[in-house]
Amino acid sequence: MPERTPYIAANWKMHKSVAEAGQFVDALLPQIAATQSDVVICPPFTALTAVVERRYGTAVKVAAQNMHEEDSGAFTGEVSAPMLVELDVEAVVLGHSERRQFFGETDEALARKVPAALAAGLEPILCIGESEEARDAEQTEGILERQLQADLVDVDGARLSEVVIAYEPIWAIGTGRTATPEQAQETIAFIRDMLRERGAPAEDVRILYGGSVKPANAAELMAQPDIDGALVGGASLDAADFAAIVKAAG
Ligand code: PGA
């Protein structure tokens, strides 16, 4: 099986001022100097540059938390992929469940955002996940299949290895209730099978788990054969906690 480089991303959501972002990066970098993993920080738009400037010369990459699918236009309040690239941002989180739930992010928009990110040279981190009701009703696989099909409809199979997938069960986000390593492994293996059917070099695609990842559970989750890393919310706000999760990836 090909070695996939572990990928650990800090999703700060709407947290941290410019000053706080700078302090975090200064505290984090010495703690993760030895890592061989991809470490990605996703600050709010306002703190992107503060993180970009501090991470030059390190292995840390910077991702935005959203973008618009058009390059420019009359879309008040939006930011485009070329604007992020101009700031030396390298990746973008797309389809986070909070954007789907609170801001009307649709699969139709994501079907345009993923190729727009790739075209601009940004690495998309596409989030998919099921609700608690869907899991209880045993509809998880159908929901994930629909999301993946719809969001990746215009991405060539060969380019799918450039997309990072984050499996984030909605019932595990910010709730303290983590999927068990077995649940997460089983679901992520299913996602890999779907990507294979879709013509992707599925063994090369990084698939992350997200939802209440903490220093105490990160190693066990990431030891699973198909779990290639983590998208971390709450525990990514503290540099020591996030560094411990990065180290847990090996
Ligand atoms: P959490 O958030 O780690 O706070 O559960 C994860 C996410 O929303 O990406």
Res 158 pLDDT > 90: no
- Contacts for 70 with CB less than 8 Å, ≥ 6 apart: 80, 116
- Contacts for 60 with CB less than 8 Å, ≥ 6 apart: 25, 28, 29, 32, 39, 40, 41, 51
- Residue closest via CA to ligand 1's atom 3 equals 233
pLDDT tens digits for 49-59? 999 999 999 98
- Is the CB of residue 211 below 6 angstroms from any atom belonging to ligand 1? yes
Q: Which pLDDT band holds residue 206 (cuts at 50, 70, 90)? A: very high
Does the residue 201 lie in any domain? Answer: yes
Does the residue 26 lie in any domain? Answer: yes
Does the residue 99 lie in any domain? Answer: yes
Ligand 1 centroid from CA 72, angstroms: 30
- Contacts for 197 with CB less than 8 Å, ≥ 6 apart: none
Q: What is the mean pLDDT of residues 20-32?
A: 98
- Ligand 1, atom nearest to 210 Cα: 6
Tokens linked to 47: 């703190």
- Residue closest via CA to ligand 1's atom 6 equals 233
Q: What is the mean pLDDT of residues 10-32?
A: 98
Does the residue 150 lie in any domain? Answer: yes
Does the residue 15 lie in any domain? Answer: yes
**Active-site residue numbers?**
96, 168
Does the residue 2 lie in any domain? Answer: no
Q: What is the mean pLDDT of residues 234-246?
A: 98
User: What's residue 1's pLDDT?
Assistant: 45
Q: Which pLDDT band holds residue 2 (cuts at 50, 70, 90)? A: low
User: Beta strand 123-128 with 91-94: parallel, antiparallel or unpaired?
Assistant: parallel
Q: What is the mean pLDDT of residues 182-200?
A: 95
Q: What is the mean pLDDT of residues 187-206?
A: 95
Ligand 1 centroid from CA 73, angstroms: 32
Q: Which pLDDT band holds residue 248 (cuts at 50, 70, 90)? A: very high
CATH of the domain at 112: 3.20.20.70
Does the residue 248 lie in any domain? Answer: no
pLDDT tens digits for 102-127? 999 999 999 999 999 999 999 999 99
Number of domain units in the chain: 1
Residue 194 phi/psi, 5-degree rounding, is: -65, -40
User: What's residue 178's pLDDT?
Assistant: 87
What mean pLDDT, rounded, does the chain reach?
96
Q: What's the rounded Cα separation, in Å, for the pair 101 and 103?
A: 6
Proportion of the chain above pLDDT 70, given as a percent: 99
Domain of 67 in residue numbering reads as: 7-235
Q: What's the rounded Cα separation, in Å, for the pair 165 and 228?
A: 10
The residue to mutate among 99, 103, 168, 173, having the most atoms of ligand 1 within 8 angstroms of its beta carbon, is 173
User: What's residue 53's pLDDT?
Assistant: 97
Query: Could you give the angle at the alpha carbon of 169 between the alpha carbons of 48 and 91, nearest 5°?
Result: 25
Does the residue 246 lie in any domain? Answer: no
- Is the CB of residue 11 below 6 angstroms from any atom belonging to ligand 1? yes
